[in-house]
Chains A and B, each alone.
Chain A
Amino acid sequence: MTGSSTVTPSEHAPSVLVVLVVRDAARWLRGCLSALGGQTYPRMGVIAVDNASSDGSRDILERALGERRVVASDRDHGLAGSVRAALEIPAAREADYLLVLHDDTALDPDAVTRLVEAAIGMRVENVGVVGPKVVDWDEPRLLRDVGRSADRFAHPYTPLQPGEIDQGQFDRVIEVLCVPTCAMLISREAWQRTGLFDERLDTRHEDLDFCWRARLAGFHVLMTPLARARHRDASAAGERPAERYRRTERYYEERAAIVAMLKNYALSSLMWLLPLAIVLGIFRLAYLVLTRRFEGALDLLAAWGWNIVHLPGTIARRVRAQSVRKVPDRQLRRFMESAGVRLPRWFTAAGQIFEEQREIEEQDEDASAGRRLRDRTVSLVGSHPVVVASFVGALVVGVAMRGFLGPEPLHGGALPLFPGSWKGFFNELASGYRTTGLGGPLAASPALGAMGALSWVTFASTALAQKLLLAGGPILASIMLYRALARLAGSPGAAVLGAVSYGLSAMVLWGFSEGRIGLMVALCVLPTLLERLEVAFSPGDLPDGRWRFIAGVAVTLAVGMAFMPGVALATAVLVVVQILFGSSRVRGLGIAAAAFAAAAVLLFPFVPTLVAGDAVGLGSRIGTTDLGALGRLALGGGPGTWSIAAFLPIAAVLAFSLVGREHRGVANRAVLTVIAGLALAWSSSAGYLPVWAANAPIYLALAAVGEALIVGLGLSSVLSGLGRESFGLRQIGTALLAIVLGGGIVLQSAGAMVGGWAVGGPAALPPAWAVVSSSAKGDFRVLWVGGDSGAPFVAPGGDPEGVAPNGTSTLRFGLTGRAGISGVDMGRALTGPGERYLERALEEIVSGSTTHGGALLAPLGVRFVVAERDDLPADVAATFGAQVDLDREGTSGLLIYRNAATLPPAAVLPADEEVARIAGSAELGAIEQLPSFRPSALSAAPGGWVGEASAPGLVVVSTEFDPEWRLEIANGGSVRPSEAFGWSTDFGSPAGALRVRYAGQWVRTMETIVLGLLWLAALWVTRKPVAR
């Protein structure tokens, strides 16, 4: 404090009226009053406004100031109301300056003098507002406020770092956008021209709006460090007995920010800033929802809602603010920060890292360049493993996924086709019948709700949502494994390496390459499930309490099962391992059972889908019995599935040998998990497990999680204790582990960066697919067949959904729509009477007993049968070639048979006795006599199909029979269905307009509503807590 005083204590000094705003401040009020009493400024009066304090604050005030200087209110008016109340005293309105002062602020003795001095004596004209340097009440070394700016969207920004110490770094009078109201000197001219505080805003967020208005009116806002105030910030610290604010800081800040924008920006600025703010708000909302910060999301919504409701008042205040405008917006921009105000902080952190490195370099000046590089690398990685991994990971991911950047949607691999609109997901979710496969009542997965929501958030682009889901898979999987490892091992460095090795494992890269969104989600949830079950079966306390813990596990499990039902199998394996080798078995089993039950509740419409057809939906027909491939966790080809992928199992073995006693229990269970995963994956592929339990991908994913966990645990032991041990086998093992892990990570990264993924642009589809995709308009289905190899079909056929057994000529098959596998079938298997019919028909064809396979497939709506040329056993190919109604299309690469006897999935057939006889029969011997037609097809419409019959006929709908189907005819009548071909639906139809409608929709609608409420409740229970 070296500034010389220019305000002499005389009667010519400007008068200052201190408006002390008080509420329930008895504990600290005396300090505030005492500081006021010690002020050296000569012309200063004080009026205190007590806002219905109940703790004796009013008595204190009256004793200190006298009753005349205390305005007592019977309710809390807030700061704006208090100032307004004070100014109702005529004398108060005459004061040259108002000093708004909070009851938890103590001014230094010369503070008022210095404030006035800054206002009139700094050779700055038109100073309207002045604030002091605000420091902590208890620790005056800590800076609390030195004036603030804001970003373009009116969110306040302080240049201070948390806990920043006052070292004189802000000791100069600076012009700022705003100063806090805890001690704010306002000239009479300023408040008379701009108006007082906006009483709609709360005490802590009205400063920016007021100062901004003052600035618009041409006044300067200064912060003078010569005046110092200690601020307790009692409201933020929750020290007031009855805090009136029920919402979070985020709400009030957001609310005030929007108000400030709407009031203070010129129309030209508002025209581009407001839409931008809305878009950013949507992004923030999505982020908050996706990270289960629901309260934050609600606060954000509430802030916008409040502003919409109070828009008339805001407009009125805007008129007032703009009417005194003297300064254009561009002149204020120098007091504002860019929207990315956090970016400088990241650079600051980066700067600190570089500074550390520079210091190390200085210390190692004498060392060789190689050593310096090594030391710096070790230091950097050791000190900031997450930062380094994130940076390198971003680089690898950026290069590896460069092909995803184009606007075209992804194709290829086993990637399911997303519907054209985000509504498609919700329509299927809420549909009473299955619109894909062969129909039936089995509900869609709740995963569709998540995918629909994501599609909506991503500008209603399902293609973008698809890319985000897929591209985010490996990243999120790594993050989830990092979090699990960090909790179990406690070492960030080890967790990072474990997570990186997991993210670069053949399993993750194969799943990504193939576009297996379900598997990617499974790979994300499995680390968390493993870690949660470790905690559940451990004797310690459960974090967040038992019920919240169970809810968390249930939500994780339900999410995984919704995308890949086989996650239930993996979780069961984890539970069995824990039951056998864990400790708190009873508690753990109880938690696991409760979590399974709760997950079932969260998936309740989907549970019948999961258990239908002997729970075939839990399994997968993908697999390999190649031990080498299983050992390196590779179920197929693609970047990163080469022999280098063996780095993870090798590293896991080495790491297991290095695991210290503190992690041995977890590591042993992880080893058993790996062994179980590998054994079950082989058994699944070799055909020794029942269909519901055979799921090689999920077991191999479990093995990958276990191996990465072991790597992390071993590294954690090594990093924590190796330096204190004498040289020996452990050091050699550590060196080997470092070599294997380092080499593996580098080579896998290189492989990922240069390799060609199975998914990509349109070129990822085989050229021969154009024969099918460019086929005539209209709906039809495609049957995919191949030998029983455990491989997926060529794109876009997806995974096999059943087998037609025939010894060594056993056929695997799948059924898709005309565009290939559908994203709305996520987690939903092909099962039911239609699937059984399909299996029978294929068995019949493969047996060679029929030459009318096309007619057998016609009721299924199959127009094309597609196989990969080398995938179909020769004898099976011969039987398909012998079918008189399956004609080979001339293509290379694929065997494509066009069904000459095809029927559309919904069609009107001629009213013919023979046709009616065949349709009414379930016998294949009769169905194969189905003659070729040119039926009139019905078009798919919401809730069914529509079309017109030119003559009376038979409406055949290739969807599983359900008595709830109705044919609505032109005269308003309704026809009940009968069973066709032993599994599907038909109606006798008159001529005229027709509509096939599902009458049982209301049940699914109710289920969907309940499901939505259940998920909202579950997510609310497991939400991330926010600080109030």
Chain B
Amino acid sequence: MGHPEAGGAVRSERHAAPATRGRGQGLLALAVLLVVVGGGFAFQRGVGVATPPQAVAATSSSGAWFCPHGGGPKEWKATLFLANPGEAPVSARVTSISARKPGNPRDVTVPPQATVSVSVPAKGREASTFVEYFDGWVAASWVTQGGGGEIGVGAEPCASATAPTWYVSDGTTEQGEDAYLVVMNPFAVDAVFDVVLFTPKRAPIRNSALTDHVLRPGKSVAFRLNAFAEGDPAVGAEVEVSLGRVAVSSTGITRDGGIRDVIGSTQAGPQAYLPVGGGAGQSTIDLMVPGEDQVDFGATLLSGGAPVPAGGLTEASQNPTSARPYPVTFSGLSSVDVVAQADGVFAATLRSAGFGNDSGATGGAAEPASDWVVLPAIAGEPARPRIVLVNPGNASLTVTIHALLFEGDTPTADATLTIPGGSVGQVPPVFLEGLHGSAVEIRSSDGDILALAASTSLGVKGLSTYALAMGVAVPNP
């Protein structure tokens, strides 16, 4: 720049001679324009916007489990199992939720590599428990034991999160069967939700009692589905939350004996893995199609041998907005892999009969994982705990089995097990012999698996009650 006149005083410039024609001033203006516009675009394209830095490593770790375990008469018992696979103690706060005001929180510390149990209230069908944990991660599940004339054991892992929609498909309201939907709201604001029931043949049931239901903060509620859909072999429920947050499960009670618990799933998907074992073999797959399109699906049975169609379900189809039972029979350790074709989505539950007068049920898992914590599904001694391991892949997997000891259980050395591809195995029973309340961590280093607790307990030789409970996939760090 450095124009000689630039140095002139402002006021002397003002009184300077009249403007003279500035040769080249136009060219200079053009150059300025080109520099500004061109430079701007060049910078924008060449340099771009700076990438913001990543967050520093988190210093806290906390989470929550929602356990809508349900209950019954006052003789019912419910036990929460909390297992800590980590290396540091984890503190937990346990709050029971019911139709009344929430119970006082109880603080529990879960030692590292250990399992603890907490007895929680189970009076009332709506009985639920809210677990918060801090300084680490724990897995949580429940075991309920009937009483007051209701016999059986139910077990299921707690839900780790809430969602705007829940699906439960384990209901049956045939004669002698009672189906309950348990909804818990441990939060500080109202939850408002609708419940839609699906049956094999009827149109979706939307009852005013199930519409815009307001669940107050810190309370839970149970709906007896028989009141809305009596006599149906399969009753699925979709819970649509319009305000607030809830967690949902189903409790099935067979009047002649038998209790089943299934935690709801937060999404309908195109695939479900439904492991099973330790029971009598007679099973039913309850499939619920909440969408508006028919779902074509097939089911494959994995067991010790080659995969085969399960229950003849190769090219089956199910009407939209319906729930249907599909009987399947197998022996020993198995897993049913239900896969929908095209874009179909469904929710599925597997009900299976035990050796005694009880049955179990599980919602399975939508996908396998490499690391599982399988929590106990036994209600007492004697017991025959079993853990079913499914390798849905094609290659063999080697898993490490590690006990997270419950106080008083006998320490057991870690074990390893190889499961061929596309087959089902189990944790060696001998490994579980001294473990009465311990959770087991199953870790695969070379692929993903599924893990299920399928146990019988109480009665003669521990075969009286039967419960299925999926393991809890350990989240990635």
Contacts and interface: CB of A to CB of B under 8 A. Distances in A.
B211 interface: no
B14 A807 contact: no
Contacts of A348: none
Contact of A721 (B19, B37, B91): B19
Nearest to B29: A657
Interface in A831-867: 840, 843-844, 846-852, 856
Nearest to B477: A849
A552 B17 CA distance: 30
Interface stretch (B57-65, B142-150, B328-336): B57-65
A654 interface: yes
Interface stretch (B48-56, B74-82, B231-239): B48-56
Contacts of A914: 107
Interface stretch (B39-47, B280-288, B354-362): B39-47
Contacts of A661: 5, 16, 19-20, 22
B475 to A, nearest CB: 10
Nearest to B475: A848
Contacts of A720: 18-19
Give the residue among A718, A803, A846, A850 with the most B Cβ atoms within 10 A. A850
Given A664-B3, A686-B48, A928 B16 contact: no
Contacts of A927: 60
B418 interface: no
Interface in A332-356: none
A538 interface: yes
A627 B41 contact: yes
A805 B50 CA distance: 12
A488 B14 contact: yes
Interface stretch (A665-673, A973-981, A984-992): A665-673
B245 interface: yes
A902 B390 CA distance: 45
Contact of A657 (B25, B135, B188): B25
A788 B52 contact: yes
Interface stretch (A396-404, A439-447, A886-894, A955-963): A886-894
Contacts of A852: 60, 62, 132, 134
A564 interface: no
A656 B29 contact: yes
B18 A583 contact: no
A805 B55 contact: yes
A281 interface: no
Given A538-B10, A661-B22, A932-B188, A808 B32 contact: no
Contacts of A717: 19
A663 interface: yes
B342 interface: no
A540 to B, nearest CB: 3
Interface string A615-636: 0000000000101001100000
A328 B39 CA distance: 79
Contact of B7 (A583, A656, A788, A900): A583
Given A657-B28, A808-B52, A851-B64, A487 B10 contact: yes
Given A539-B7, A844-B60, A898 B189 contact: yes
Interface residues of A, number: 92
A926 to B, nearest CB: 8
Interface string B431-445: 000000000000000
Give the residue among B19, B28, B35, B62 with the most A Cβ atoms within 10 A. B19
Nearest to B186: A884
Given A581-B6, A852-B132, A928-B134, A688 B40 contact: no
A682 B188 contact: no
B32 A656 contact: yes
Q: Interface residues of A: mostly helix, strand, loop or mixed? A: helix
B460 interface: no
B193 to A, nearest CB: 12
B93 interface: yes
A540 B58 contact: no
B5 A805 contact: no
B16 A805 contact: no
A283 to B, nearest CB: 36
B189 A889 contact: yes
B52 A675 contact: no
Contacts of B188: 885, 887, 898, 900, 932
Interface string A23-47: 0000000000000000000000000
A808 B11 CA distance: 53
A658 B25 contact: yes
Contact of A925 (B15, B40, B60): B60
A555 B44 CA distance: 38
Contact of B8 (A538, A733, A923): A538
Given A686-B47, A686-B50, A662 B19 contact: yes
A6 interface: no
A927 B62 CA distance: 11
B25 A929 contact: no
B242 A890 contact: yes
Nearest to B4: A665
B28 A656 contact: yes
A725 B21 contact: yes
Interface string A905-949: 000000000100000000111011101100000000000000000
B19 A660 contact: yes
Give the residue among B53, B107, B186 with the most A Cβ atoms within 10 A. B53
Contact of A627 (B22, B44, B47): B44
Contacts of B39: 679
A630 B37 CA distance: 11
Contacts of B53: 805, 807
A653 B26 CA distance: 9
A672 B41 CA distance: 18
Contact of B59 (A687, A808, A844, A885): A844
Contact of A653 (B3, B33, B63, B189): B33
B316 interface: no
B239 to A, nearest CB: 17
A688 B62 CA distance: 35
Contact of B187 (A730, A844, A900): A900
Contacts of A657: 25-26, 28-30
Contacts of B62: 849-852, 925, 928-929
B13 interface: yes
B36 interface: yes
Contacts of B47: 686, 688
A730 to B, nearest CB: 7
Give the residue among B25, B28, B35 with the most A Cβ atoms within 10 A. B25
Nearest to A887: B189
Interface string A111-153: 0000000000000000000000000000000000000000000
Given A631-B40, A678-B40, A653 B32 contact: yes
A684 to B, nearest CB: 11
A165 B25 CA distance: 50
Contacts of B161: 882
Given A656-B29, A678-B36, A733-B26, A849 B54 contact: no
Interface string A481-520: 0000001111000000000000000000000000000000
Nearest to A722: B19
Interface string B253-264: 000000000000
A950 interface: no
A887 B44 CA distance: 40
Contacts of B5: 661-662, 664-665
A261 interface: no
Nearest to A730: B21
5 contacts: A631-B37, A661-B16, A682-B40, A806-B55, A884-B187
What 3 A-B pairs have minimum CB-CB distances, sorted nearest first?
Answer: A660-B19, A540-B9, A665-B6
Given A658-B25, A661-B19, 20 more contacts: A538-B11, A583-B7, A653-B33, A656-B32, A657-B29, A657-B30, A661-B22, A662-B17, A671-B32, A678-B40, A686-B49, A686-B50, A733-B26, A806-B55, A852-B132, A856-B60, A887-B188, A889-B189, A927-B60, A928-B134
